[in-house]
Amino acid sequence: MSVKVLYKTTAKATGGRDGTAATLDGAFSVKLATPRELGGGGGAGNNPEQLFAAGYAACFIGAMKAVAAGGGPKVPADASVTSTVGIGPRSEGGFGLDIDLAVSLPGLERADAEALVAKAHQVCPYSNATRGNVDVRLTVV
């Protein structure tokens, strides 16, 4: 499958889960810290799962807006996505992710909201990247 790239960004991490990460253009910089649950100190800083959760949530709203622009129901201004990302050992070896997306679309009929979420899940690049590889559960709240 090919992708017609419209935007690229580059980030560099140093020191792994207890280091730093930043985009090369200087627009984003973060101190990283390993959570206690993964054997770290749990100190000040963020971890890759938090960054992934925030990115997926924001991107999914963008995907819903793209679907709406193509004739779907309008996405309410106060729409929100709460993304919960878990990490742990896989039965096949290595580590894997587990994701829940709780989508709030105030004012939309439940059937319209569920249809919009299902279509957005087919459009969202994070959903496409994880499909068939990571369990992603969608819930309209």
The DSSP H or E segment spanning 22 is: strand 20-23
Q: What average pLDDT does this structure show over 38-55? A: 95
Q: Which amino acid is at 130?
A: T
Structure confidence at residue 20 (pLDDT):
97
Structure confidence at residue 36 (pLDDT):
94
* Contact (Cβ atoms closer than 8 angstroms) between residue 99 and residue 56: yes
The DSSP H or E segment spanning 137 is: strand 135-140
| Nearest CA among 23, 38, 141, 126 for reference residue 81 | 141
Residue 14 has pLDDT above 90, yes or no: yes
pTM listed for this prediction: 0.94
* pLDDT 10s digits, 86-135: 999 999 999 999 999 999 999 999 999 999 999 999 999 999 999 999 99
DSSP state of 74: P
